[in-house]
């Protein structure tokens, strides 16, 4: 499914892929700073996909009935975006954020959406929820770097709980067309 709000800016958007982890939040905050500098809009993507951690990524405590994963993801996204709503760049409307929820495997969906939205850059958190998947395929970030045709920035959250993330790019990938 796909939901959106707001329009893309005149420049190519920055695509931020999130799994609502602290690293994802750091990635989004870093992307907002960049978007502010570049006068670009941001697309926040969450690929609805359960990474097999029991009891299930979209299970909620006390939930005794089957819930639509899409609905749970939408609530998670809303809570997640609240955490950046007060940032000056967002509050003032300088950086426009739209959201997308799409069923599918994260790495593939990220690179696919980057192509269809003609994004200028992909920003992802360093370590997400699906650490076990790296056994077979590598982390989502690694897969995105491998498959993307545009620059990819991987952001780490600072591990100290006191200060919010002054995020820093950890790696980047280039394309012949678009250098970083």
Partner 1 sequence: MDAPLDHTALVIGLFGGLALFLFGMDIMTDALKRAAGAYLKDILARLTRNRFTAVAAGAFITGIVNSSSVTTVILVGFITAGVMSMSQSVGVIMGANIGSTVTAQLLAFNISSVALPAVALGFLVSFVSPRETIAQYGRMLLGFGLVFYGMGVMSDAMQPLRSYQPFLDMLARLDSALLGVLAGALFTAVIQSSAATTGIVIVMAGQGLLDLETGIAIALGANIGTCMTAGLAVIGKPREAVRAAAVHLLFNIAGVVIWIGLIGVLADLVRAISPNAAHLQGAARVAAEAPRQLANAHTVFNIANTLIMVGFTTQIARFVEWLIPDRPIRLEEAATPKFLDRLLLGTPSIALQQVRFEIERMGVQVVAMLSDALDAASATSIQQMDRLAERDKSVDALHRAIVGYLAELSASSLREEDGRDVLRLLEAVNLLEFIGDRIAINIRTTTQKRLRDGVVHDPDYLAKLGRIHGNIVTALSDAIRSVSASDPDLAREVVARKTGVNRLRHAIERDSAAMLRGKKADLTAYMRAIELLEILDGIFRSARAIATTQLDQDGDEETPAT
Give the binding site for partner 1 (CB under 8 A). 1-2, 48-59, 63-70, 102-105, 108-109, 112-113, 116, 132-133, 135-137
Residue among 29 and 69 whose Cβ is closer to partner 1: 69
Compute the least distance from the CB of residue 82 to partner 1, in Å: 20
Do 148 and 160 touch, CB atoms closer than 8 A? no
Q: Which residue has the tokens 């709503």?
A: 85
Compute the least distance from the CB of residue 130 to partner 1, in Å: 9
Compute the least distance from the CB of residue 166 to partner 1, in Å: 34
Compute the least distance from the CB of residue 116 to partner 1, in Å: 7
Residue among 52 and 170 whose Cβ is closer to partner 1: 52
Residue among 26 and 45 whose Cβ is closer to partner 1: 45
């Amino acid at each position: 499914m796909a939901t959106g709000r707001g329009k893309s800016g005149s420049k190519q958007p920055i695509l931020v892929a999130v799994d609502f982890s602290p690293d994802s939040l750091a990635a989004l905050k870093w992307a907002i700073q960049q978007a502010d500098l570049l006068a670009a809009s941001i697309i926040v993507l969450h690929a609805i996909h359960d990474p097999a951690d029991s009891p299930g990524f979209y299970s909620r405590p006390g939930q005794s009935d089957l819930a639509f994963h899409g609905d749970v993801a939408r609530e998670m996204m809303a809570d997640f975006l609240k955490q950046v709503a007060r940032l000056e760049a967002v509050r003032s409307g300088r950086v426009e954020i739209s959201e997308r929820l799409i069923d599918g495997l994260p790495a593939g969906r990220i690179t696919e959406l980057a192509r269809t939205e003609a994004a200028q850059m992909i920003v992802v958190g360093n370590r997400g929820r699906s650490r076990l998947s790296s056994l077979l395929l590598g982390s989502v970030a690694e897969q995105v770097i491998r498959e993307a045709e545009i620059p990819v920035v991987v952001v780490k959250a600072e591990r100290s709980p006191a200060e919010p993330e002054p995020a820093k790019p950890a790696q980047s990938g280039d394309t012949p067309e678009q250098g970083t």
